[in-house]
Structure 1
Amino acid sequence: MKTIFRLLLLVQILSVYNVSFASDKQNREKVNLLIINIDDMGWRDVGFMGSEYYETPNIDKLASEGMAFTNAYAGASNCAPSRACMMSGQWTPRHGIYTVDSSERGKKQDRKLIPIKNNDYISEDNLLLPQVLQNAGYVTCHAGKWHLSDDPKTFGFQYNIGGSHAGNPGSYYPPYKNVPSIKAISEDDYLTNQIMDNVLDFIDSVNNDPFFLYYAPYAVHSPLQPVKSLLPKYQNKKQWNGQDNMKYATMVENIDTQIGRLIKKLKEKGLLDNTFIVFTSDNGGVYNITKQWPLRAGKGSYYEGGIRVPTFFYWKDKISGNSRSDVPVSNLDFYPTLLDAANIDKPGDKILDGISLLPLLTESQRPADRALYWHFPIYLDGGNEETQDPLFRTRPGSAIRYGDWKLIQYFENNDIELYNLKTDIEERHNLNFSHPEIVEELLRSLNEWRKVIKAPSPIEINPEYIESR
């Protein structure tokens, strides 16, 4: 009897062991997911996109082992709406976040139209990417800037490192004004480093569970506070293509160092080979800090310098290294792409406006031509010489890119701008009068898109508006 009991016990133990082992094996084989979303990093602020001023060796090496995109776009030209597009997989009219804070930016007498009211918070009814991944068994961690609600843990993140509704840290040196949850040990503890310390602790804790890490450091957003130890190397460095801000350069290099620490940890844990990585920025660089030439303007503008961003994908042995693509893509594509990589079905009633890029990334299958759209029924102050508007970076309007053509329509006076980005990436030559057939075609597509997604457009005249003085 004892022998039979021992045999039954042994069978039970082996059975439990095998189930546990199978479960661990299944988890280990499930791809880990990592989005690196740098704040306000411009299209040319990294070496792999051509910068000879900023130093980003870790980012460049990782990019060289994956596929970089030369025509990658943010869903909007500033922080909150772009992040809402990425996390929801939807165009701005679906979630209603068009800008940061109020849509009535600038002086009231300068605004001809009453802009559409802005949503400061993402709706709790909107099923975000981390919620789907958590439901599929992923351990989910947010690190850095969230900006879409008060607490990212209400949207599918099990761990939150420094995320809140704050759009900037207030200070990168302690006390971190807008990031009180991160505690410094000494007065020289730089916030970006502190956040990465916590990220590395998270990586150490995941064991064999598949994880989704959304690493969105506050850097390189203002305030411009240099990493003091790096300043000397940039004090006499030659400027390149309008890039010469040494304070900003130290912030760029430091964020590269932190990413290097993350990649090293993933290697040490044996996780890098099974991690799908997206690197991007939430919008273009700030024009008075860093130039993106030949792209026009910067953050807040719907010219290329405001919406085109550095982007690459990495997945060892599945995405070919040293590869580049000129296919226009958007951060709305990340949601379906990550679900595809993780072999997770899209929730049945969830509307996704992007497409999965996995066939392009892993099989070089170029997707069918499609239009990319932007809708910005708001005002955003801070114009400059490249926006050719001293008052606003953005006035109410919409934009469309299809193929090599890009059209911008402004609602105040129905002004139209048309550019051929293949021959005029600088957007200096408005071709709206010489190509009326292209204008008609793109306007038809833009109008149909706005109709389908019920995009609100401002039509009410501001009674306090004063014609150009």
Structure 2
Amino acid sequence: MKYFLSIAVLILICLQAFSQQEKPNIILINIDDMGWRDLGFMGSDFYETPIIDSLSRSGMVFTQGYASSANCAPSRASMITGLWNPRHGIYTVGTSERGNSRDRKIIPTENKTTLGKEYQIIPQTLKKSGYKTIHAGKWHLSDSPLDYGFDVNIGGGHNGHPSSYYPPYGNVNLEGENEKYLTDAIMLKTLKEMDKTEGPFFLYYSPYAVHTPIMPVKSLLSKYEQKSSKIGQSNAEYATMVENLDRNIGLLINTLKRNHQLKNTILIFVSDNGGLKGITDQQPLRAGKGSYYEGGIRVPFFFIWEGKIKPGTNKQTPITNLDIFPTILEAAEIKEEFPLDGESLIPLLTQNKELPDRPLFWHFPIYLESYKYGQNETRDSLFRTRPGTAMRFGKWKLHYFFEENEIELYNLENDLSEKIDLSGQLPEKREELLGMMKDWWIYTSAPIPQTPNPAYIKLDE
């Protein structure tokens, strides 16, 4: 009898192990501040990214992919929780009172800087389902990702960017040697971790690159100093950071192939927000990081899953990084149910079933000062963003600004650069979208700042 029980237990263990191995590995690559046009496959004629370009051709590219926010921390918080910003309260980095007080007409909503422990996030969910969870690079949501479901942390903390890309890295808790560039150092430790990883894994590779400070990879600089661009990209120092990042992703892919870890793996590539205006250029998109015009939120975005996603596919379906969490859940066949604001893309990715029409929203009830005077392409030279909400529905884009209750309406199909405001010409469409936006405010309990700022001084006074 004991013999048969032992056999039964052994069979059960083997079945469980087989089930574990059948779970897809998941790799989420979240680049920092990489703009929509900063890659060759997205139209750059200046930055050289052959590895990422080749990867993109292995899966499905979304040319109308969006970040859920126009700057780092809130975008990452929404992606990792699958929730719109009003749900978690992270809207920016640091205080919401950005810029000079005398220029802020209303008092902005208070900002949270640490993600609350009450939210269930991607690594916690996967860890409960048997995944090894690895974080490499920028975290930005708390002091340590180890407190949020990660088994391994390589260089992640509350900091939003490194003090230096050359050692000592300062605020990045990582040892550097032989002048090793930070992106190289993080990848070296990531590869060592992958070499000892067995079974299903979740790798969140989130390099600090290509965020400021702009510090060139010296061996690549002379090449880019000789290049020119037809779309306004000319920053040679930034270009070396982009190419170095591309090389490191190539090292990751080669290691995974050597370890037979790319089989049954879904790989997601995205950026946390648009490129920083003045550092890079996203023509024909308007503005850049920190703005809710297209240049601040539209990002490179693609998915790879060998045998599941048809290679070489381009889609114009609008998607957002809020969709990543529900997509991962369905890919991993995790049935646990909890509130998420995105949609699983698995039917679209694997069966070419289009998503139903849905509005996308961006809520920013605070101020974000200009990075560099005159380079914003926004409403004024003082702020990249003033308090407001933006939404996309079909071809339409609506901006609502809380200071003066002003509205802008654009037809992205004909006006990708958001130059022609149609709010006065199309009052019915304006009111239709505004009604949807007001319903969304109620649905999410979105804070609407209205209190006048006593320190505000009108420019003509």
| TM-score normalised per structure 2 | 0.97
**Could you tell which deviates more after superposition, 308-317 or 225-234?**
225-234
CA drift at 1:17: 5.4
Q: Which of 417, 421, 426 in structure 2 is aligned with 1:435?
A: 426
| C-alpha distance in structure 2 between counterparts of 1:266 and 1:22, whole Å | 25
CA drift at 1:12: 7.5
**2:177 paired residue number:** 185
Counterparts of residues 326-341 of structure 1 (less than 5 Å): 326-341=316-331
**2:354 paired residue number:** 366
Contact 1:336 1:346 in 2 (8 A): no
**2:416 paired residue number:** 425
Q: Which of 212, 218, 234 in structure 1 is aligned with 2:202?
A: 212
> Is 1:299 aligned to residue 285 of structure 2?
no
> Is 1:157 aligned to residue 150 of structure 2?
yes
| C-alpha distance in structure 2 between counterparts of 1:360 and 1:385, whole Å | 35
**2:134 paired residue number:** 141
| C-alpha distance in structure 2 between counterparts of 1:13 and 1:203, whole Å | 34
**2:55 paired residue number:** 62
Counterparts of residues 256-295 of structure 1 (less than 5 Å): 256-295=246-285
**1:87 paired residue number:** 80
Counterparts of residues 384-463 of structure 1 (less than 5 Å): 384-463=375-454
Q: Secondary structure at the match of 1:231?
A: helix
| C-alpha distance in structure 1 between counterparts of 2:10 and 2:307, whole Å | 31
Match for 1:241: what amino acid?
Answer: I
Q: Which of 319, 332, 353 in structure 1 is aligned with 2:341?
A: 353
Q: Which of 307, 320, 324 in structure 2 is aligned with 1:317?
A: 307
- CA RMSD between the two structures: 1.4
| C-alpha distance in structure 2 between counterparts of 1:177 and 1:436, whole Å | 53
Q: Secondary structure at the match of 2:422?
A: coil
**1:243 paired residue number:** 233
Question: Gapped runs of 5+ residues in structure 2?
Answer: none
> Is 1:229 aligned to residue 225 of structure 2?
no
Q: Which of 178, 188, 192 in structure 2 is aligned with 1:197?
A: 188
Deviations 1:138-196 (CA, angstroms, capped at 9, x unpaired): 1001110000111111111011111110000111100011112x11122x211111101
| C-alpha distance in structure 1 between counterparts of 2:278 and 2:222, whole Å | 22
Deviations 1:190-239 (CA, angstroms, capped at 9, x unpaired): 111110111111111112x1000100000000000011111121120112
Corresponding pairs, count: 457
Counterparts of residues 119-138 of structure 1 (less than 5 Å): 119-138=112-131
Q: Which of 18, 35, 46 in structure 2 is aligned with 1:25?
A: 18
Deviations 1:60-117 (CA, angstroms, capped at 9, x unpaired): 1110010000111101000000000100100000000001101000000000000000
> Is 1:71 aligned to residue 61 of structure 2?
no
Contact 2:376 2:384 in 1 (8 A): no
| C-alpha distance in structure 2 between counterparts of 1:271 and 1:76, whole Å | 32
| C-alpha distance in structure 1 between counterparts of 2:189 and 2:425, whole Å | 56
Match for 1:169: what amino acid?
Answer: P
Q: Secondary structure at the match of 1:272?
A: coil
Q: Percent identity?
A: 53
| C-alpha distance in structure 1 between counterparts of 2:262 and 2:45, whole Å | 28
CA drift at 1:310: 0.2
Contact 1:283 1:308 in 2 (8 A): yes
| C-alpha distance in structure 2 between counterparts of 1:14 and 1:288, whole Å | 67
CA drift at 1:16: 6.0
| C-alpha distance in structure 2 between counterparts of 1:369 and 1:16, whole Å | 49
Match for 2:342: what amino acid?
Answer: G
| C-alpha distance in structure 1 between counterparts of 2:345 and 2:11, whole Å | 36
CA drift at 1:240: 3.2
Match for 1:461: what amino acid?
Answer: P
Match for 1:341: what amino acid?
Answer: A
Question: Gapped runs of 5+ residues in structure 1?
Answer: none
CA drift at 1:467: 0.8
